[in-house]
Structure formats: C-alpha cells, structure tokens
Structure 1
Amino acid sequence: MTTSLPPRAGRRCHNALNPLHSTLYFSPDLDVEFKGLGFDDPSAMRLAARSAALGAVGPGTVAATFYNYNHELLARHLPSVWETAAPAAVLDARLRAADATLRRLLGEETVASAEMAEAAELALRATEACTRHARPLYAANADLPVPEEPHLRYWHAATLLREHRGDGHLAALLSLGLDPLEALVSHTATGRGMAPRWVLGSRGWRRADWDAAVERLRDRGLIDAEGELTDAGTALRAELEECTDRLDTAPYEHLGAVGVERLTELGRGFLFAAAAAGAFPDDLTGKA
C-alpha cells in the first residue's frame, strides 16, 4: 500500500492519543461514578466501562472483542453487571468520569484552550475514514453521540481511533498465531507492555498461566531462557505492529501528513501533562 505519510506516522499519532483515553481506567473519578451506580468491584467497573457501548453483552462477546482477558474473569462479572446498571447509565457515568479525569489531570485552562478544540477537530476528522466492518468495538463506539465540549470530543475521538486500531490489531494477532496470553507476555518482553503483576491482576490470569505462555513462546524460539525476546521474537513483534499499521492507515491518510503531525504534537503535550499529574501508576510497565 502506498502512503503519503512518513513511516510509522499513524502509529506515533496513536501512541500520543491512546494513553489519554486509557487514563480513565486508572482514575479515581471512574471509581466514584461507578460506585454511585452501585458497583463495588474494580474489575466489574472497568469491564462495564469498556464494553457498555456493545450493549448488555455476556462474557463470550467481551472475550472476543477484548481478546486478552481470561474468560473465567469475564464470566464472573458478565452479564450480571447489567443488573447493577444498564449500559446507557454506564456510558453516561463513563463520560462524566472522563470529564472529571481530564479536568483534574490537565487543568481547566488546558481543557478550555484553543489547542484542545483544535486537537478535537483534527482527531474527529481522522475518524471520518474509519470503517465499521470487522471492527466491533470501534463500530459500537462510533454509534454513540459526539459530545459537545472540546475535551470530551477529543476523548471520544481518541476512543474511536484506539478501538479502530485495536480491532485491527486483533486480526494481526490471530494471523501471526499469538494467543491472548502469548500476546501479553511477548508485549511485556519488549519492555513497553504492562508489568506481569498488572496483567495478572487486571486480566484474570494466574501465574501458572503466564509461565505456561512463556514456555510456549520459548518452544517457538521467540523468548530466551532469561525471558527476553530473541531475534525471531523481536521480528515477530515488529511484523505485528507493521501489520496493525497497514490495517489502520485510513484515518491518518485521510487527515494528511500535516494534520497528523499537528495532532501528534498536541496529543503528546496533553499526554505529558497528564502523566506528570500522576495519571498512571509508576510500576505499570516493565518486565518485573
């Protein structure tokens, strides 16, 4: 596929926008809003928050669309979470939590800035080229109304671009033969993925499951005896990201090189400010 963009420009833009969406899942504001709905389990809150756009789904749908969660964890909470609050109420609470989170992390001046409004419109313009077919999480979120306030428009657009890329990423994982936990283990081995304790705590896997996935990757020659990626493992992860890039080219091509560069610049500024304000745990990433 020919492209007018610099190499990996779309990926760099995604990497600036996606983490700001993800601040929600580490936010005390999400806990406040969801406890107000009657939730008391953090896993149930976060599963509901991300899956509510799909409707009152069960564990099978979420296992398919989230990919790397243990089905046992999902079945523990789904579909029973919808007895606590209907998806529409969850989506309203999610947006209120996103509003509070962005205001707390970025400050009122940034939230109301011309730069935020510009970033929102650039990100929304990129989403005009996203496609619904074979992209269930993107398609579900794309059916939601676009918020009016610029910072929430930006968060909504970042959500759409995140899920559009994520849906394509799952197709790439399947194509390259990485099962849910192998995908997580190999990502952690790059040094950029979640640390094992965060994976095990949030995805519902046991240490024995993790160790078994490590052994499968060793048998394939992708991880060495010290748990580091081999040359073959590094090459596979690179192929995975390049395949994901190809499946996610359209929104960034639509925005154009100048727009992508500007959106990346703005997104990085917001992300650095959020990180400096304590948006993410210090031990979230790493191999230990």
Structure 2
Amino acid sequence: MAVASLHRYDRVHGNLTPGAFWLVGQSAAAATSCKLLCRTSTWVDRTTCRGWLALADDVLALGQCIAFALYGHDGQSVGKVDPGHMPTSTPQVPPPIPRRPQMSAEALDLLNAMTHIDPTRRLAMEDVTRHPFLWPASQKLAYIEMVANHAYVELTKRQQDISWTCHDKDEYDGREREGAMDWGARVKARGLDVHRHRLYDTSSVVDLVRWIRNLKQHAAELPPHTWRLLQSGEVRDIQEVPISIGLQQRIVEEFVCRQMFPDLVLRLWQCLGPLESFYN
C-alpha cells in the first residue's frame, strides 16, 4: 500500500530491497505485514518512456521483495517480528542449497505478473493492490457470493475457461492435476452431505459457486455436528453453544478458501475480473 501511495502521486521509491521493509506482524494467509522505509522518493512523468519504466522497475523490485519474504533463504520468511516497529536485522547468508517451499497459486500468479520480463506486461501498482493474493478470507468468500448472485449467466458461458489445480495430497498422492474435478467427492470426504437441500452437478464450477453461496447464507441453519466437520486446525473453539455468527463465518471462510478450494477465487477472478460491470 505504501508503494501504491507513492505511485498514485507519480513518485517512485527507486531502491526497493528486502532491507527497505520491517515487519510488524504475521499472517497465515499472506507473507507478513510490514512498514516501508523510504527516505527519499523521486517524481516521474508517467507519460514519458523513462517515467513509466521507473514505475515498472518499482513493481519488479517489489515483486522480488515479496518473493524474498515468502521464500526466505531457508524456506521460511526471513523477517523477524518486531513489536516495537523497529527495522529488523539484515538477512542471514543463504545456505548452498536453499529449500523452496510450495507457493500458493495466488502468490505465483501475482509474482509472475509483477516480475514479467516485459515491463509493459507488468501489473500497475493499483492492480497489484487489488490482486486476490492480498484479500482476507472474508473478502474471498464475499467475492464467491457476488459471482453466484450477479455473474451467474456469464460464469455459465465461460466456466469451461476455468481450469484449476487440486492440491489434495491424500487423494492424489501429492501430484497436481489440472482440469475438471468432482468437488462433491472432496466435500463428501469431510462427512458433509452436498445434496442435503438441493441437487448439484458436482463437476460444474457454477454449481460449486452456488453451493458455497448457500453454505454461507444458510450457515445459521447447520446442526452442531456439521460445525465439527467444517472446523479446521486454526479454528478449534467450537465449545460455545450456540456458535456465534462471527465464529460461523470464520469457520466457513477457512473451510472454503484455505482448506478445500484455495485456488477457486483466483480462477474466478482471472475469468470474470472485479465484477463491477455485473451488478451496476
């Protein structure tokens, strides 16, 4: 956001490196939250070749910093959380063979777009800040609901354009497979009845979006044992009866956006975009 604010006023940082950031928190969904060290910035004329190249170079450097934060030199994030909001120490020297942890499809998509070799094909900073990788789970679930409510016809026409990867290691021996997936089988494997209230085509992306929308909207009607099936490793406080609305939403968000279908929002967003034209 800090770099986007600079670009909004046609200013570039010009020296974005991992040392220009210090961490102030951690998140399981994104790499880290941080602050930007910027002693000076330079105004550029974005209408000139030199100006937009400088902006594109900032995006490239920021993408490299994000990759550094996600990978680190030992397979972990190299930043150290500093409660006092002070700059962190310099990164450690990388080992001879760094371990590369698996990146999410959203992270890879964002980094590929930010670090494209052709500057004209890199994302602008305003588009970087709108990328689904930076969305919280609540925003992702809201996006799926908006698709079901306002883009049903368009999604029906274009669902064949959506291919997404399954990362279920237990079911597929850890191998990634592209193409259509029986999402109903994955849900049923968790003990849930997909067709409890209506019939769905479990090979259809359209019906998957509708099922998720209905799960979110009718969460209050679910029996207690269903919440035990939905809960994840991060949301374990299912002791209160009745379960609060806030906790219900957290469980559904975690179940849909991080456990079962972590790539779905990215595929929908690549196909349909930000949806403004569908609900005006």
Fold match, TM over 0.5?
no
TM-score, structure 1 as length reference: 0.23
Structure with more of its chain in helix, by fraction: 1
TM-score, structure 2 as length reference: 0.23
Structure with more of its chain in strand, by fraction: 2
Work out which of the two has the higher radius of gyration on C-alpha atoms and give 1 or 2.
2
Larger RCO of the pair (alpha carbons < 8 Å, separation 6+): 1
